[in-house]
Structure 1
Amino acid sequence: MKKTLVIGASTNPERYSFMAINSLLKKEHAVVAIGQKLGEVAGVKIQTKQIPFKNIHTVTLYLNQKGQRDYYNYIVGLQPKRVIFNPGTENPEFYALLGINNIKVEVACTLVLLSTNQY
């Protein structure tokens, strides 16, 4: 089980972050979430503040490059094992910062990783 933080979470069922939360739960991963609006997806409360969650294994991003800037220090401070950059979130500047901090960068789709048992 890999505790995962979904950043860019949404209560909109058409959003990939919504689908990812549900898929992570189906695969029995613990999930916490941060989004622009408070809400809940499958029992997971979406926070709007950068809460100092403990024992985060993976951060999966659903924010564009510009939106990620406010999260650089926060994510590095959580010291996850890896950060997944889903399609549309690619960010070479952030890759470099994560690399310096020994955090693995994975440019992939969380939904595909889960469905092919590569998560």
Structure 2
Amino acid sequence: MKTLVVGASTNPERYSFIATNMLKSYGHEVVLYGKKSGEVAGSVIETAQKPFEGIDTITMYVGANHQSELYNYLIQLKPRRIIFNPGTENPVFEEKALQAGIEVEEACTLVLLSTKQY
């Protein structure tokens, strides 16, 4: 299962950093998208909106006020679901995703992983 981490960061105190490492430790393939390039757990943070293939899950670590420029990009990746982590909830984007046939979850990726619900 391939996961796109949106809002990826090289800062070890950021939840996106922790989630990237945890996803990889659980055996998930991870691709990263963020504002600043860098590397986390052996994966490069892409700063361009690349046409990633085979994305099952997008996990959001970008606040709602910075998501509008990502709506079309993320929807066209055709993920199975988008997880809106605490602080990233966005009713407008969630509705757009649902209309595109994408599952939406307001949940914490770290909790889902640790409770084997991911």
Q: Which category describes the TM-score, using the shorter chain as reference length?
A: over 0.9
For each residue in 1:77-106, what CA deviation from the matched residue of structure 2 results, as whole angstroms up to 9, or x when unmatched? Answer: 000000000000010001110111000000
State the number of aligned residues: 118
In structure 2, distance between residues paired with 1:25 and 1:62: 17
For each residue in 1:7-43, what CA deviation from the matched residue of structure 2 results, as whole angstroms up to 9, or x when unmatched? Answer: 0000000000000000000010000001110000010
Structure 2: gaps (5+ residues): none
Counterpart position of 2:75: 76
* Offset, 1:66: 1.3
Counterpart position of 1:97: 96
User: Identity of counterpart residues, as a percentage?
Assistant: 58
Structure 1: gaps (5+ residues): none
Counterpart position of 1:17: 16
In structure 2, distance between residues paired with 1:96 and 1:38: 30
Cα RMSD after superposing both structures: 0.4
In structure 2, distance between residues paired with 1:7 and 1:95: 15
Give structure 1 regions of 4+ aligned residues with deviation exceeding 3 angstroms: none
